[in-house]
């Protein structure tokens, strides 16, 4: 029987190891290609992070799309049952560009759109029609792949002095209500489901209850617990 030298055995092991590494690298390149293509189009580091997580998941039962409020859901909902795709500071104009990129890398059965609070400070009543046109187009993009779409009305805010109300100071609550009325009209006209987050969370004065927020807009742990019941079960403990 022919005997192989120890040097030959070492060389063969190295060749095998390099071959396996190359195959793994090629597989990684193939798996990451859709995300890298999306990165080239995005340029938003926060959104790119969402894309990377979405590409790993690949498909989900419920995809929640929105801004920093949805970003806050990420810790509890980032898997195949529910995937939270929240991008801080995002508004309707941003999601017009981002929605097609996101749906390249994740395929949901249902989409929940919870978006609009970042549009609100810039909106005067005469600019509401532009908001509604953008919102309607985002809805169309998110439902184009056949996923069932539900839209969430905007959460209430709590305006006030100091740190606990500073973030909401620029939001006109009357405009916020008109935005929600328009969102419901868009949903009714197109057959989308409506999640009435505002009505389920607001206090008797139409404001975000103080224990549910730390700055007038963003939610505390108790705030998320309340909102999650609305988003995912359609009910809230009022």
pLDDT at 10: 44
Note the residue count of the chain: 238
Contact by Cβ (8 Å): 29, 69? no
Instruction: Please determine, for residue 99, whether its predicted confidence score (pLDDT) is greater than 60.
Output: yes
For domain 58-233, say whether CATH 3.30.1180.10 is its number.
no
Q: Environment class of residue 29 by beta-carbon count within 10 Å: exposed (0-12), middle (13-18) or buried (19+)? A: exposed
Question: Around 95, how many Cα atoms within 13 Å sit in the side-chain half-sphere?
Answer: 30
pTM for the whole structure: 0.82
Torsion 218-222-225-226 (CA) sign? negative
Give residue-wise pLDDT tens across range 207-226: 999 999 999 999 999 999 99
Provide the β-strand partners of residue 195.
Answer: 152
Confidence of residue 124 (pLDDT cuts 50, 70, 90): confident
pLDDT over 90 percentage in the chain: 71
Question: pLDDT confidence of 160, banded at 50, 70, 90?
Answer: confident
Q: CA 135 to CA 178: how far, in whole Å?
A: 13
Q: Which residue did the predictor score with more confidence, 23 or 57? A: 57
- Sequence spans of domains, the chain: 7-42, 58-233
């Amino acid at each position: 029987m022919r005997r192989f030298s120890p040097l030959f055995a070492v060389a063969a092991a190295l060749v095998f190891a390099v071959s396996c590494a190359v195959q793994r690298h090629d597989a990684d390149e193939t798996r990451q290609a859709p995300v890298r293509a999306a990165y080239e189009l995005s340029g938003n580091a926060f959104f790119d992070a969402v894309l990377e997580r979405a590409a790993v998941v690949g498909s989900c039962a419920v995809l929640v799309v929105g801004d920093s409020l949805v970003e806050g859901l990420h810790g509890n909902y980032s898997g195949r049952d529910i995937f939270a795709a929240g991008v801080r500071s995002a508004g309707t104009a941003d999601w017009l560009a981002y929605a097609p990129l996101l749906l390249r890398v994740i395929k949901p059965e249902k989409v929940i759109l919870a978006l609009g609070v970042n549009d609100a400070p810039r909106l005067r009543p005469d600019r509401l029609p532009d908001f509604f046109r953008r919102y309607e187009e985002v809805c169309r993009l998110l439902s184009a792949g056949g996923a069932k779409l539900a839209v969430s009305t905007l959460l209430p805010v709590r305006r006030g002095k100091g740190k606990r109300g500073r973030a909401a100071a620029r939001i006109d609550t009357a405009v916020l209500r008109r935005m929600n009325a328009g969102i419901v009209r868009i949903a009714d006209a197109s057959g989308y489901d409506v999640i009435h987050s505002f009505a389920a969370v607001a206090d008797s004065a139409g404001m975000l209850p103080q224990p549910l927020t730390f700055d007038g807009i963003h939610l505390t742990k108790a705030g998320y617990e309340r909102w999650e019941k609305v988003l995912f079960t359609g009910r809230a403990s009022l």
